[in-house]
Amino acid sequence: MKKSDHTKGVVALIFLGLVFASMGIFARYLSTGFLLFQQVYLRMLAAFVIGLFFFRNQIDFSKLNNIPPKEWLLITVRAVSSTLLGIVLFTQAILTTKYSNVSFISALPMAAVFGFLLFREKFTIRKLGLIILAFIGVLLISVSDYAHMFSWGKGEVLALISTVFFSFSYVARKWHSKLLSNKELTVLNFFVSFLIVFIVSIFHGDGLPLDGWTWGLALAVIVAGIFNILNMNLINYGFQHVEAVLASNILTLESVFAVALGIVFYREIPSIKELLGGAIIVLSVIGMNKAEAKE
């Protein structure tokens, strides 16, 4: 792998952490006009349409006839994992518990576990220690009562489950063949994700979101769609060029960005404990980068 590709992948994942941390803002705002499944598939539809427009000259539509069933299955599995189980549960969590707590839990290095288990990526005691260090940082930020460390509310549990499915979808990028480019995978993922969540929404009895639209809601759907495109492109590029262990560790920066966004949008002033946890996470990311550079 070229050094430049690896460096770009690291930068992409850092930016991805910032984009991730901001997604809860859209989820909360869109909940004022749409039901849970509705807002999710509207965001997926917007991302699909915008993606088609921006990537129209970089998508080879003739490939659609040559995509093997195995590739379609993987696209579908990743869509179910990242959207139906990841985004839907994340959105439900952000609506039922503290904004920063969801982001902090989402920063847990679950992708590293999948990297070790599914891809046998190089395991060292130092890497394990750095992952544990990042986990300690997240605990410092999110746990308020250490006498009941595992007594979490519904929102926290949903956030944890969504993190597992998000992480699986990320590392599953490595199973794709070279037939489809990252942009082609991104557009197909949003199309399949939209169809899946739309069908589930209809069967759930939600109906169609025909009423209650405002200019603010319409703009939020469009901007959320753009951010989702950024998400998928950064995910595909970052996890293609960076080992899952390092990638997962970098994404713990999401919790640091969440603190800043919490101050700006919700006036959530972080405590000394939360700032200490954020500092530990940053140190863990720096340590993991140094460990990777020596290999």
pLDDT in tens, 228-283: 888 777 877 887 788 777 776 777 777 778 878 878 887 777 778 777 877 787 77
If you write DSSP's letter for every residue of 128-189 in order, what string do you get?
HHHHHHHHHHHHHHH-S-GGGTT---HHHHHHHHHHHHHHHHHHGGGGS-SSS-HHHHHHHH
**Can you tell me whether residue 242 is helix, strand or coil?**
coil
pTM metric for this prediction:
0.79
Higher-confidence position of 110 and 189: 189
What's the pLDDT at 77?
Answer: 94
Per-residue pLDDT tens for 167-217? 888 788 888 888 888 888 889 999 999 999 999 999 999 999 988 899 999
pLDDT at 91: 93
Q: Which helix (H) or strand (E) holds 110?
A: helix 110-119
Q: How confident is the model at residue 139 (pLDDT cuts 50, 70, 90)?
A: confident
**Percent of the chain clearing pLDDT 90 (strictly above):** 29
The residues spanned by each domain of the chain are: 3-293
pLDDT at 116 > cutoff 70 = yes
Average pLDDT, the chain: 83
Is the Cβ–Cβ distance between 140 and 259 less than 8 Å? no
pLDDT of residue 146: 62
